[in-house]
Structure formats: structure tokens, C-alpha cells
Amino acid sequence: MTGGLIVIFGIIAMVMIHEGGHFVAAKAVGMKATEFFFGFGPKIWSTRRGETEYGIKAIPLGGYVRIVGMNPYEEVDPADFGRTYREQPFRAKAIVVLAGVASHFVVAFLLFLFVASVLGVSVSTTAVESVQTALENGTPTPASLVDIRPGDRVVSIDGVVTETWLQAVDLIAANPGESVAIVLDRSGTQVTVNPTLASIEDDEGNDRGYLGVRSATVKDRAGPIEGIGDAGTAVGEATVASATGLWRMVSGFGGLVEAVISGDADKISETRPASPIGLVRIGAETQELGLGFTLELVALVNVFVGIFNVIPIYPLDGGHFAVALYEKVRGRPADVRKLAPVAAAVVIFMVLLGVLAIYLDIASPFSLQ
């Protein structure tokens, strides 16, 4: 359950760091922020420091910072004129609205850096860690039939030297149902075995060869410079994956609803969203894979939320930025109240998506197994 608790704490911290980004940026450019709360609903506790009230509310599903003049319907006290969001230049508005988005990528980068440089990344070797004894249908695995043992190191497959485990996996996958010659290093002695590989179907319906072994792993810790590069690459890859996944989720929402109604499990798995319930469940399962996997999960969630928030639709951060940019280009204030129907539609969609995600996470839980 430790992994689940880490994810819970990570989600709470993510929300507060996001709002903290807006808050710190607003203070830095001279805007007035009157409230900084975790949660929504009835107030449980609060304290006032200077002009800002800090506190906790009853429903722990987010948080918010109230910046004077950011709500277009808000009546501003004349004493606050000059410090409201709506009066600030484009640069100040952009800094404030994008600070929350930027916080997600900074947190993700630091988490990836910590995993790469401190915890280390698990790297598969060509050594065998364990041997599966039977396939799902109960028949012995090819590896068990030819007496492949834990500790054996795969030297070559059909004459091709295997320098990495991925290379070995590709060679095995390419020969479903075929007999292959595998040279093993067993305590310094070379042993040749000739298993007939099983044939299994992958997610795309293609037949792949299967041996029935798991590779041993070692921890590879990057140096400071290399770790920065690895973390930057990880954030970049997570950004592309998040943007792609978000598009599939939004564009496939109607199909997802139909799949839920019809019970099409394959279609559901392609585009289903995850609620905090699902993320906590996944976090609990990643505990068996190590702390690094759990922290990387939290990093991935941060990147996804950052990408979601940058969408240029009001009232998301990207929408606020788009409005500020419009005002900069047109040279006059925008009537944000005209965007109220769009904002309402976005909120309704997010609520429906959240309800659907919670339903799926309860009725058909995520599993890494």
C-alpha cells in the first residue's frame, strides 16, 4: 500500500504546487492574492497572513488561489485598483497563468532526475533471473523443457550474438513455433539448447515467439550531467505520449461511452481515463516494482496534467493565456463573460469524464498484471 500512499501524497502535492505556482507568480508581479486553499466546500481551518487567507476545505478534490480581478464577474474594491489581474500587462498575465503549468514539468523533471541519479534505473541484462514453468494453458514452457536455469546468460540465438536482452527478446519473438539454437553461459561453461518456441498472440493480433524466462536486472545510476539529460528526455517523451493520449481520450469520448454501454472491454482499454482511485491502485501495484516506478508514475501524471492545463480553452490555464494573448494582439480588453458557455461546456465535460473514470476504476479496475 506504500505505493498507493505515495501516489495520494503526490496528487495532493501536485495540486498545491500548481496553485502555489500561480500564487508565487502573482505576488512576484504585484497582483493581490486574497485566498490560498486546499480543497473545496465548507471551510475546516484557515489562518490569515497579511492580505492572504490560507486554509483547508472539506472536499479534498483540488485547491485554488484567488487572485483579485481574475474572475470576470468579480466586483473589485477600488482600493485594489492597480493590483488586479485584469489590469496587468500581457507579460504579467502570462507569467501568472503559465506558472501553474510550468510547475508540473519542473516537478516531473526533478522526479525523473532523482530516479535516474539517486535510485537508479533498472536495466535488463542477458542473464536469466527466473524461469516460468507453465503457460496459461498448463503446458510446460519451452524454457523449462530444455532446462534453462536461473543464472544462465544468453550468449547467442541462432548464431546471432545477443548483446542486450531486448535483442534476445526480438530474436525470440520473430520465431513463433520454430526451433532455435540458444547458446548459454552457465557458470563459465557454454551450453547449447534447442527449444521449440511457443506461439502467443500480442495485443495487435500478431503471433510472437515465447520462451518463458525473465531477465535479471541491475541498477544503472546516471551521473549529474547524464542524469539531467536523461530526465529531460523522459519529460520530452512523456509530453509526446501525454498529448497523444489526451487527444485519443477526448476524440474517442463518444466511442468510450458506447463501449461502456455495450461492455466492449477492448475498446474501453484503448481510451479509458484514470481517476485518482485508479492511480492509487496502480501506485499500489508499482510498489512491487520499486520506488522508482512509483515516482515515475507520479512524474507522468504531472506531465499529463500540465499538458491538459495548457489546452487553450477557457477556464483552463491555456484558455487564460489565449485570452491574454488576444487582448495583446487586439489592443483592447476581451469580454471574457462571452466565453461563459464554453467554460460551462468544458466543466461539464470534465465532470462527465471524471464520473466515467471513477465508474471504470471501480467496476473494471486497472491492473499491471
Supply angle C-alpha 280, 284, 285, rounded to 5. 120
Whether residue 344 sits in one domain with residue 259: yes
Is residue 149 scored above 90 in pLDDT? yes
SS3 9: helix
pLDDT for res 202:
78
Q: Kindly report whether the global pTM for this prediction surpasses the value 0.85.
A: no
pLDDT for res 305:
93
Give the structural domain span for 149.
121-220
Give the type of residue at 26: A
Give the type of residue at 239: T
pLDDT for res 369:
54
Whether residue 116 sits in one domain with residue 6: yes
Q: How far is CA 217 from CA 127, 149, 165, 325, 362, in A?
A: 8, 16, 10, 50, 34
pLDDT for res 91:
96
Contact 172, 179 (CB under 8 A): no
Q: How far is CA 175 from CA 132, 158, 179, 214, in A?
A: 19, 10, 8, 18
pLDDT for res 334:
84
Q: Which three cell numbers mark 29?
A: 508581479
Number of domains in the chain: 2
Question: Rounded to whole angstroms, how far apart are CA atoms 146 and 126?
Answer: 18
pLDDT for res 367:
62
Whether residue 293 sits in one domain with residue 305: yes
Mean pLDDT computed over every residue of the chain: 88
Phi, psi for 155 (deg, rounded to 5): -90, -45
pLDDT in tens, 49-102: 999 999 999 988 788 899 999 888 888 888 889 999 999 999 999 999 999 999
Query: Is the residue at 198 inside a domain?
Result: yes
- Asked which of 220, 235, 250 is the last residue of a domain, the reply is 220
Which of 232-236, 304-308, 330-334 shows the lowest mean pLDDT across its residues? 330-334
Whether residue 174 sits in one domain with residue 266: no
Instruction: Compute the average pLDDT of residues 152-172.
Output: 94
Question: Rounded to whole angstroms, how far apart are CA atoms 86 and 314?
Answer: 15
CATH of the domain at 212: 2.30.42.10
Is residue 270 scored above 80 in pLDDT? no
- Asked which of 200, 220, 240 is the last residue of a domain, the reply is 220
